[in-house]
Structure 1
Amino acid sequence: MPDDSDAADKSTLRAIARQRRRNFVASLDALTHRLAFKAVPSPLAQRIADAQVIALYMALDDEAPAQRLAPQLGVMGKQVALPRVLDRLGSMDFLLWRPEDQLFPGLFGTSHPEPSGGAVVPDVIIAPLLGFDQRMNRLGQGGGYYDRAFARHPDALRVGLAWSAQELDDVPADPWDLPLDMILTETAVIEAA
């Protein structure tokens, strides 16, 4: 059972991280923002060489824009999937997507592809986050969607995508929290030891 003080700490950290991210993105010049996350850095390219399905996400508000990686992943011969939120209880699956495909509105302001092809199993899950630390802990929105996806797909490479300003000194980790394998920011690639 989570300690109430840990929940309060995470809640406070989320507010701090959201404000820090908002301020950082607002301070970026337009060209820097437009160019961020358009290329797959070579450490990630090496780690995903044998992967077939890469799960991205459509950024909301000032999140790091994972969808910008899709064209280069396509050139690399990868299939791209996006999450589909299934309910308010933390369940989601992944559906194949191409940048030219229409997206449909989902829960919590999300968008997802047409579910006609059915869910796929990702080899790599690139996840949004509010904060991260050097121990590869991820602070998410608090709904547990990505925690559950990581648990359902334990063999998938777990990659967090964030602006550099989202790094925190310490992100409290609950026993069910799985650390990330890699974190990409607009300036760095951080890999687990």
Structure 2
Amino acid sequence: MTNVPASRRYASSPCLASEIAPDYFDPLAVDPEQERDVARWRKAERARLQAERTALSVACRQVVGAALVGHLRGFLADRFGGARGRVFSAYWPIKGEPDLRGLMAELHASGVTIALPLVEQKAAPLVFRRWTPETVMVRGNWNIPVPPPDADKLTPDISLAPLVGWDAENYRLGYGGGYFDRTLAALAPRPFTIGIGFQSARLTSIYPQPHDVPLDGILTEAGVQTTRHET
């Protein structure tokens, strides 16, 4: 790498990327080689974490999901008074993600407006359509069930972000498409964003790049891990 002391260099192989010093990555001064190395490392970590998650038993995922539901319910009650009257963007679980659909129905019944994100146009910010337990879902991008085109479009006040990986600085490792970061950058005002994931998916750092947007909080089955500010 250009102008990097020998003691701070690292192999481009993803399996050695953990040797990178976290303070080496200046988000305001990323060179192309550095960016490629981070992208390779993230691809490897993404595959590893997804494989670990997929390997979990159904019973284990149910335990994790139940714990997360309890922590999220308590967080919304403490921070947002239960979120009644607010627009709450959740997600439809895929690829072994924690299943929060029961909580979505519970919140809907308590007066929270539920929305689900979807890709309406590739390489553009996500849009959010209203969901209720009676919504007849259709297949969206990657065959993910989404509300139909005639569902109301909403702007969330609170938004969940499923995590493949996460770090203590509130940065999220997602699926690599950049949709969530692109959406947060476009929304004004920005919703309060909560990362939802497994405790075992914690990373020392995701080595944030200029396009990465930190979340406002992260919850796992172990409870609230980080929050950036009070509301």
TM-score tier (shorter): 0.7 to 0.9
C-alpha displacement of 1:168: 1.5
What RMSD over aligned residues (CA atoms) do the two structures have, in Å?
2.2
SS of 2:95 mapped into structure 1: coil
Matches within 5 A, 1:118-129: 118-129=152-163
CA contact (8 A) 1:127 1:159 kept: yes
C-alpha displacement of 1:36: 4.2
The yes-or-no answer on 1:52 pairing with 2:83 is: no
Q: Which piece of structure 1 moves more, 40-49 or 98-107?
A: 40-49
In 1: Cα distance, 2:150 partner to 2:61 partner? 37
In 2: Cα distance, 1:30 partner to 1:112 partner? 22
CA contact (8 A) 2:97 2:197 kept: yes
Identify the residue that residue 196 of structure 2 maps to in structure 1: 161
Identify the residue that residue 52 of structure 2 maps to in structure 1: 20
Identify the residue that residue 37 of structure 1 maps to in structure 2: 68
In 2: Cα distance, 1:47 partner to 1:155 partner? 17
Q: TM-score with structure 2 length normalisation? A: 0.74
- Structure showing greater Rg: 2
The AA in structure 1 aligned to 2:192 is L
In 2: Cα distance, 1:158 partner to 1:101 partner? 24
Structure 2 unaligned regions, length at least 5: 1-29
Identify the residue that residue 87 of structure 1 maps to in structure 2: 121
Q: TM-score with structure 1 length normalisation? A: 0.88
Identify the residue that residue 219 of structure 2 maps to in structure 1: 184
CA contact (8 A) 1:182 1:191 kept: yes
C-alpha displacement of 1:75: 3.8
Identify the residue that residue 179 of structure 2 maps to in structure 1: 145
CA contact (8 A) 1:20 1:165 kept: no
Identity, % of aligned pairs?
29
SS of 2:102 mapped into structure 1: helix
**CA deviation vs aligned residue, 1:55-81 (integer Å, no higher than 9, x gap):** 001000201223232023224321000
C-alpha displacement of 1:34: 6.2
Structure 1 unaligned regions, length at least 5: none
In 2: Cα distance, 1:61 partner to 1:178 partner? 23
CA contact (8 A) 1:66 1:161 kept: no
SS of 1:14 mapped into structure 2: helix
In 1: Cα distance, 2:58 partner to 2:146 partner? 29
SS of 1:191 mapped into structure 2: strand
SS of 1:176 mapped into structure 2: coil
CA contact (8 A) 2:217 2:227 kept: yes
**CA deviation vs aligned residue, 1:21-48 (integer Å, no higher than 9, x gap):** 223x327447625634343332332223
Q: Alignment partner for residue 174 of structure 1, among 203, 206, 209?
A: 209
